Amino acid sequence: MNHMQLHPSLEASQRKKIITTSILLLLANILTILFYLNRDIEFYTLIWIYFFQFTFIGFFKILFLFTSKQLKFISRTKRFTKFAIGYFLAAFYAMFLFFFATSFSTRPPNLTQTDLIYMIVLIGLFFITHLSSYLYQRQQISKKMKLGTVLNLEIFGRIFPMWFLLIIAAGIEEYILAGNELLLYGFFIAKVITDEISHILEKIRYNSNDI
């Protein structure tokens, strides 16, 4: 994709940063897939990696809402709405963490020392990717936004797609273990495309001038 075509209202520096964070995210996804395909690990280990990514996304979204001085809402109760969304997301994540813990706590990744190092590196790469995205977002946002727009961007635009992918991954695990490679590669493709599109569209919407 030509970065000049991302969005006509974006400045060159904004387009460059969107592309950089998108490449980091793509690299993390590809390396995770290669890790799974080239190492003798269970599919649920992959789910653990994606779970950490989902946690990082939520953590930085909540942190952004609580700490961003630039982000302001078009509302008479600006401070209340800002913190209400933050607390809502925190509660949502707390419930999901509880669900995940009860479902997978008895199945920690069974890895060799080398595979464990690989896994930590991949989790670290996802952390760096979403940290970079958060820092970029804090630097760029400097306008008032509608509450509905922020809800769409944060919950339905970025968090929900990743949450949905995790649910799908848990649901298809038994079929993957049975050797359904078509389903496995279909999931990988859906994961990468969904991740990239939701990430790019979120950044474009936050930084474009037509919100």
Question: What are the extents of the domains in the chain?
Answer: 9-207
Cα dist from 61 to 132, 158, 204, whole Å = 12, 9, 16
Q: How far is 103 from 85, CA to CA, in rounded Å?
A: 27
What is the reported pTM? Answer: 0.80
* Closest by Cα among 192, 211, 126, 201 to 157: 201
Half-sphere exposure of 177 (CA within 13 A, CB side): 12
Give which of 70, 64, 86, 85 is closest to 147, Cα–Cα: 85
What is the pLDDT, as a whole number, of residue 138?
72
Structure confidence by residue, pLDDT tens digits, 79-138: 566 667 777 777 877 787 777 777 666 666 778 888 999 999 999 999 999 998 888 777
Segment 2-12, tens digit of pLDDT: 444 555 555 67
Angle between helices 113-140 and 181-207 (to 10 degrees): 20
- Provide CB contacts within 8 A for 78, sequence distance 6+: 72
Summarize pLDDT for 28-62 with one digit per residue, the tens. 999 999 999 998 888 888 888 998 998 898 888 88
